[in-house]
Structures are given as C-alpha cells and as structure tokens.
C-alpha cells in the first residue's frame, strides 16, 4: 500500500513538532530543577557557526509550515521570530501544528503534480513534489529537530533517544 502525500509529509511533521514540544517541556523542568538561566539555554549552540536553540526551534517550525504551504498551495500563517522563552517556543510549535491540521489530504493530492520551486543560493531550483519532500523538506526538518535535541543534551537536559522518537504507534 502506497503512502499518500499527506501521510508522508503532514503526519510526520506534526509528530516531529510534538516531540520537539516534549523536549522543550523537559528543558523547562530541567531549568526549574537546576536554576539554570533560560536565556543561557535558549542561546546555546552545538558549534559557534550554528544557530542557537531558539533559532533551531524556529527553523523547525518554519520548515514544517512552509512545507505544508508548498505541498498544499495554501498560505501558512506568519510567525515572526520573536520568541524569547520556552513557553513562547512551545506556543509557536502548537500554532504550527494547528495550521498543519487544517491541511486536508485531498488538498495535497490536488496540488501534488504542481511541483515546487525554491530559491536557494540566489538561484531558483525546481523539483517535483516527491523530490522536494524527500530530498529537502523532511531532511531539513529532522536536521533542526536533531540539533535542538543535541543542544539540550549538551546543556545537561536529561533527554535521550526515546524522548526524540517518542512512543511508537502513537496517533498524530
């Protein structure tokens, strides 16, 4: 049985955002238990040339919502990068999930043949919908999730692989 475009895109994006929200909730608990400054955690990076945690979460949200927009042809809500706390980041993830839940399988199916054109490095790159999803959207999304997880681990937040993956068989 083949996966629909909705099953291969929107459902994993919603699940991933839920896992990221879980990680941030664990981070909030860690801050309360240790007295670590929230600003220290939000600005932590894995490497100097990488974005801090706050931006990794924002990019995961952006990747999810813009993937939904590109795959459906329906506008995503604007979300300026103004979050300055873990609760604000969690609220942004919730807002992104709310938008993704509005995207119906039939809408994605109807737009599937349209293809996707991205601006990258000053150029426009055209690709079919499946290539966009498998070669750009999902890898980019999971990159930001994994980096956020790595930053939290680096900063001492007690999260592990199962926090990242979550329980199997959980509905989205």
Give dist(CA 79, CA 42) in Å, integer: 18
What is the reported pTM?
0.94
**CATH number of the 5-75+83-164 domain:** 1.20.120.450
Residue 98, both tokens: 């709310």
Residue 72 contacts residue 32 (beta carbons within 8 Å)? no
**What burial class does residue 31 get, using C-beta atoms within 10 Å of its C-beta: 0-12 exposed, 13-18 middle, 19+ buried?**
middle
* pLDDT tens, residue by residue, 59-73: 999 999 999 999 999
DSSP per-residue string spanning 49-63: TS--HHHHHHHHHHH
* pLDDT tens, residue by residue, 119-172: 878 899 999 999 999 999 999 999 999 999 999 999 999 999 999 999 887 665
**Eight-state DSSP code of residue 99:** H
Task: For 35, list phi and psi in degrees, rounded to 5.
Answer: 75, 10
The arithmetic mean of pLDDT across residues 16-31, rounded, is 97
> Buried b / exposed e across 114-135, counting CB within 10 Å, b at 16+?
eebeeeeeeeeeeeebeebbee
Domain boundaries, the chain: 5-75+83-164
- In this prediction, residue 171 carries a pLDDT of 61
* pLDDT tens, residue by residue, 92-128: 999 999 999 999 999 998 888 888 998 878 899 999 9
Give dist(CA 81, CA 162) in Å, integer: 29
Residue 55, both tokens: 């931006």
């Amino acid at each position: 049985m083949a996966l629909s475009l909705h099953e291969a895109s929107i459902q994993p994006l919603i699940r991933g955002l839920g896992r990221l929200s879980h990680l941030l909730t664990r981070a909030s608990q860690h801050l309360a238990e240790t007295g670590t400054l929230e600003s220290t955690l939000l600005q932590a990076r894995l490497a100097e040339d990488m974005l801090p945690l706050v931006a990794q979460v924002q990019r995961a949200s952006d990747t999810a919502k813009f993937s939904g927009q590109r795959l459906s042809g329906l506008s995503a809500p604007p979300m300026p990068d103004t979050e300055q706390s873990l609760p604000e980041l969690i609220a942004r993830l919730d807002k992104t999930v709310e938008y993704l839940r509005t995207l119906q399988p039939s809408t994605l199916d109807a737009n599937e043949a349209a293809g996707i054109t991205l601006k990258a490095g000053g150029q426009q790159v055209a690709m079919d919908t499946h290539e966009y999803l498998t070669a750009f959207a999902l890898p980019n999304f999971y990159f930001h999730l994994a980096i956020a997880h790595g930053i939290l681990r680096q900063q001492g937040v007690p999260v592990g692989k199962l926090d990242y993956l979550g329980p199997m068989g959980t509905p989205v």
